[in-house]
């Protein structure tokens, strides 16, 4: 990665204490994410991987440190717009809507997406890359499998063209074929606008990390312990 590539997101000395006061959930974590980067965060269960992603997205409070977006501190009134650019995708996401189409249309009813609109042609093209056709849009969310829920949640955020995707085991419920299709889709998504897009991917799959990312960061007990 060229040193001239813009730093999109910078995490400085993030700290979060456990309620018992005797240990840290996040312990002085610092990192930079530059345009075009695909990073993986790995480590044992309870290492702090999900907490880190949620703190990076400004979804959870921290006791110390800060997150900067494109060099600027994030003001309180700027958090909604920041979360439009830096999106965290939960491993087991909730889907707000009765059908897949309703779920995908829902973000455009929010003020932060005013002026944008649902693009059905784009969604159908993305579905084809994931081995689905347009009939998938009519499926009831109550009837979706765990893997299908992950696909819908991913499409819901990709259509919003964020700057950074923070992905928490996004293919954990998918079969091998669809997993590889998702990996290819996300790689292409970054590469088509590499100066302004990046991915941070939490995974327990070492083979997936080797396929998907350029750098692997290891966490243990709330600290980044290696690369």
pLDDT (tens digit, 9 = 90+) per residue, 111-165?
999 999 999 999 999 999 999 999 999 999 999 999 999 999 999 999 999 999 9
Residue 17 lies in a domain: no
Quick one: tokens of 188?
Answer: 């292409």
The pLDDT value given to residue 4:
62
Residue 185 lies in a domain: yes
Residue 6 lies in a domain: no
Residue 71 lies in a domain: no
CB atoms within 10 A of CB 227: 9
pTM score above 0.85:
yes
Number of structural domains the chain divides into: 1
The pLDDT value given to residue 2:
44
The pLDDT value given to residue 199:
98
CB atoms within 10 A of CB 45: 7
Residue pair 36/225 in contact (Cβ under 8 Å)? The answer is no
Quick one: tokens of 158?
Answer: 């990709």
Q: What CATH code is carried by the domain that includes residue 132?
A: 3.40.50.300
Residue 67 lies in a domain: no
CA 26 vs CA 2, 30, 109, 183: distances in Å: 29, 10, 35, 28
Domain membership of residue 184 as a residue range: 38-46+79-226
Enumerate residue ranges in the chain where pLDDT < 70.
Answer: 1-4
Residue 74 lies in a domain: no
Residue 129 lies in a domain: yes
Residue 68 lies in a domain: no
Q: Please tell me the distance from the alpha carbon of residue 67 to that of residue 14, in angstroms, as a whole number.
A: 8
The pLDDT value given to residue 1:
43
């Amino acid at each position: 990665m060229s040193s001239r590539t813009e730093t999109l997101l910078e995490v400085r000395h993030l700290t979060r204490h456990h309620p018992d006061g005797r240990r840290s959930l996040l312990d002085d974590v610092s990192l930079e994410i530059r345009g075009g980067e695909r990073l993986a965060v790995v480590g044992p269960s309870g290492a702090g991987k999900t907490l880190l992603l949620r703190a990076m997205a400004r979804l959870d409070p921290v006791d110390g440190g800060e997150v900067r977006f494109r060099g600027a501190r994030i003001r309180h009134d700027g958090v909604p717009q920041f979360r439009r650019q830096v999106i965290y995708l939960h491993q087991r996401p909730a889907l707000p809507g009765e059908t897949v189409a309703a779920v995908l249309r829902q973000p455009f009813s929010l003020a932060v997406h005013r002026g944008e609109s649902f693009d059905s042609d784009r969604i159908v093209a993305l579905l084809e890359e994931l081995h689905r056709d347009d009939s998938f849009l009519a499926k009831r969310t109550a009837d979706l499998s765990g893997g299908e829920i992950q696909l819908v949640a991913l499409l819901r955020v990709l259509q919003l063209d964020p700057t950074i995707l923070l992905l928490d085991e996004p293919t954990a419920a998918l079969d091998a074929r669809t997993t590889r299709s998702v990996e290819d889709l996300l790689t292409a998504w970054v590469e088509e606008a590499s100066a302004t897009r990046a991915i941070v991917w939490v995974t327990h799959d070492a083979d997936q990390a080797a396929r998907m990312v350029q750098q692997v960061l290891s966490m243990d007990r709330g600290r980044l312990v290696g690369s």
